[in-house]
Structures are given as structure tokens and as C-alpha cells.
Structure 1
Amino acid sequence: MKFLHSKFASAIAAAYVSMVVGGLLLHFLTTGDFGTLRYSLMLPSTLGAIFIGSLLACGLWRGFAWAWWLGLVATAIQLIRFGSWFIARLSSGSAPVASWIIAFLLAAFLCVLLIKATRQRCSR
């Protein structure tokens, strides 16, 4: 069972990266604005989310301890950054469905990381 927890956390990280990249591509496909796509892909926050999310997915899949710690730090930072925007958006109206999905993915990732079996699996 310990094996499945780290794999599930890895799948959540991969889903998060897919949401980030998919959102950019979906916006490009609906608007056709290549300038916005290029600008979005050059943002440090976008590149960081894609790179660190991919690194986490690979590291957690293989059960590395550094990936577990990096996952905790990255999730805490992202929850602070995204959470402040998300709460402000909710207070002024409603948030888009994609924002709810991202919030759920971040919360689920943190919960799966904090399970004792996940920490025990990530010991290499």
C-alpha cells in the first residue's frame, strides 16, 4: 500500500502540470493569440510550475526523499500564492472552474504527501 501513495502523489503532480500547460494551450487554441502563449511560457512562475511539477512527478514516482521535501515546500508556496488570489476572486464573485480544480489538486497533493505511508515510501 505504501507503494501506491507515492505513485498517487506523482499522478497528482502530473495532473497539476497538465492543468497548467493545458490551460495555456486551450487559451491559445480558442483565441489564436500566439503572443499571449509566448508571453505566458516565458513567465518565471509558469516555467517554475512546469519544471518543479514535472520534477516532483518523476521524483515521487521513484520514491526519492528530496522529492517529498520539495513537494512540501513547493505546495506551501503555491498554496500561499494561489490561495491569496483564489480567496480574493471568491470574495469578488466566483472563481472559474479551472481554479477550483487547481485548488483541489493542491489540497489533495498536500494531503497525500502528509500520509505517513507516503513519507515512508520516499526514503531513497
Structure 2
Amino acid sequence: MAEQPADTPDSEHLWAPEDAFSILGDETRLTILLELADAFQTESDGLSFSELRRRVGVEDSGQFNYHLDKLSEGFIEKADDKYSIRSSGLAVVSAVYAGTYGDGSGDETAESSWDCPKCGDPL
């Protein structure tokens, strides 16, 4: 059996839509994704726990760790004590900036400053 790419959710990480949106529905978690997407352009190796927590503005490290754990189920990853955004997280951030989750008209487009980590094309 072929091994799945690291950014492809396996059967343990496939959510029902309500579960995925429940994870993303928290303001702190969305802010974490936004900060990691911003850092994706400048800090290619990711952000440390303390730097990311400072940028997001959460004082309680235990509470912050709880939110990171929720996002680690498919939207972010940790390597060498640094957190970085996965392509699924970039897709969420791009959709937010494009207004896809806005008024529901669905006909809005916007350019993103991020490139796809897999193919290099603009998102």
C-alpha cells in the first residue's frame, strides 16, 4: 500500500464537516492559523511555542497548548519544537481572506500572498 503524503489526513484525521468546523470555529484557533500563515512567508521553519503564543496573545500556556492540540489533528504540525501551517490550514486562511466564509454569495475572489507548499502555485 502506498504511503500517504504527510499533509493528507489519514483515516484517523478525516472529520465530518461539523467536526472540522467545530475545530475551526474557535477565535483563538483561527488566530493561530492566521499567525502561522503569516509566518509561513518569513519564518520557513515555523514558530516556537512561546513566539506563537506571544503573537496570538494568549497568556495561559495550558489553554494555548489545548488549542494547538486541536489544530494538530490536520491543520498544523510540529517539527523540531516549531509549529508550522499545513496546506489544509493555508486553504482555510485563504478562504477566510477571500471571503468564502462571508455572506454566502460565493462569487468573490482574491489573491493570496501564499504559495502552495506542494506545487508552488499561488493560492
When Rg is computed on C-alpha atoms for both structures, the one with the higher figure is: 1
Q: Give the alignment's TM-score, normalised by structure 1.
A: 0.32
| Structure with greater proportional strand content | 2
Task: Give the number of the structure whose residues are more often helix, by fraction.
Answer: 1
Higher RCO (CA-CA < 8 Å; seq separation 6+): 1
Instruction: Give the TM-score normalised by the residue count of structure 2.
Output: 0.32
